[in-house]
Structure formats: C-alpha cells, structure tokens
Amino acid sequence: MAALGRAALHDSAVTVDYTTAETRTAAKQRVEELSQAGSKRARQLIDADVRAGKDAELGKRIVAGDDPIFATTPAFGVAEGTVVAFQVEDTKPWVIMVVKNRADRGAQPSEHAPEIDQIQPAVLEAVGLRQLARVADEVGVRLNPRYGLWDPVTLQVVSDENETGGFEAPLRVAPRA
C-alpha cells in the first residue's frame, strides 16, 4: 500500500468542480442532482453556487504530492466523470465533487510539497488504498451481499446504505430531456 501511495503522490492529480452541503441528506440530494444533470449542466449548477458566494469552485486542480492528506479522500479514488460526496472531518460541511479529469502520470508536485520520506506511513498506506480501490473497481471486484454493502467512500463493508461515509454516482452522458 505504501508503495502505491508513494507512486500516486509522485505524479497524480485530479481536476474537480466542487460545492458543499451542510447535511448528509443535502449532500446525497446534490450528488443525485449533479449526476442526473450531466457534465455541462452540473458545471452550470456549481457555477451558480460560486456566484452565490458558496464554498464552491470550478476547475480546481489538486496535485496529490502537494496535499497528501487530501490524496487519501475519495476524489483520488474514483474515475473521471464521477460525482462524489464526503466529509473531510466529521465536523466539516460535506464536499461534493465532480471529478473532471485524472492525471496518473506527470503531475509533478510543487516545490512546496512535503518530501515523501517525511510523510507518515499511515498516510502513504491510505493514499495507496485509494489507488487499490480504483483497480478493484476497474476489474470488477464485488462484495457478496450477505456480508453487507461495500462503501466506496470509506473503503469498508457497512451493514446498510445509512452507514456509508458518503455517496458517489456517475455523471449521465446526456441529461434527461
């Protein structure tokens, strides 16, 4: 896991449009709304939040090596064209991100990035786990339902949907007419 984490921190980045929600219910509704809207309309909806002064931004590029803690979040563990909602900390608002672009090679950290050797092993392992989760999803690894439900946000088994650490959904290719 740590080796996967080191590799991801060395040259990975995501570009996202994001907004926030105060409650779990609002975050779930926003994921559904953005997912159903499609890429262009989702961007317009988030732009409206930006213009309204909400904690929101369009086209934010996050380089894993510049923010190793953020590289442990679901934003670095989902495919392009995915809407994902999660909390960075239990007391913070929910972050809803549309992952617009992934760069798994060539995204060099800035000169202000922490040295890889100075990053705690647990953080490296958590970044690596996010990368492993992507691979498992790509090859089709599935959990037998008798064991519960796989939570792609916390990367663990939960008993039902109410215990998940967040939500994710693919962007519709074309919005509903």
Report the pLDDT value the prediction gives residue 177, as an integer from 0 to 100.
54
Each residue's pLDDT tens digit, 90-113: 778 999 999 999 887 777 788 888
Can you point out the beta strands (E) in 71-165? 82-87, 94-103, 149-151, 156-158
Q: What is the mean pLDDT of residues 33-50?
A: 96
Q: ∠ CA(91), CA(157), CA(17), 5° rounding?
A: 50
Q: Taking a C-beta distance cutoff of 8 angstroms, is the pair 149, 157 a contact?
A: yes
**In terms of CATH architecture, what is 2-169?**
Roll (3.10)
Among left, alpha and beta (phi > 0; psi -120 to 50; other), residue 136 is alpha
Q: What is the mean pLDDT of residues 155-160?
A: 90
Each residue's pLDDT tens digit, 164-177: 999 999 998 765 55
Please give the backbone phi and psi of residue 141, each rounded to the nearest 5 degrees, phi first: -70, 130
Collect all residues with Cβ–Cβ distance below 8 Å to 141 and sequence separation of at least 6. Answer: none
- Identify the top-confidence range among 4-8, 22-26, 127-131, 173-177: 22-26
Indicate the pLDDT class of residue 153, thresholds 50, 70 and 90: confident
Cα gap 144→88, rounded to integer Å: 28
User: Which of 65, 50, 49 lies closest to 11 in space, CA to CA?
Assistant: 65
- Going from N- to C-terminal start, the domains of the chain cover 2-169
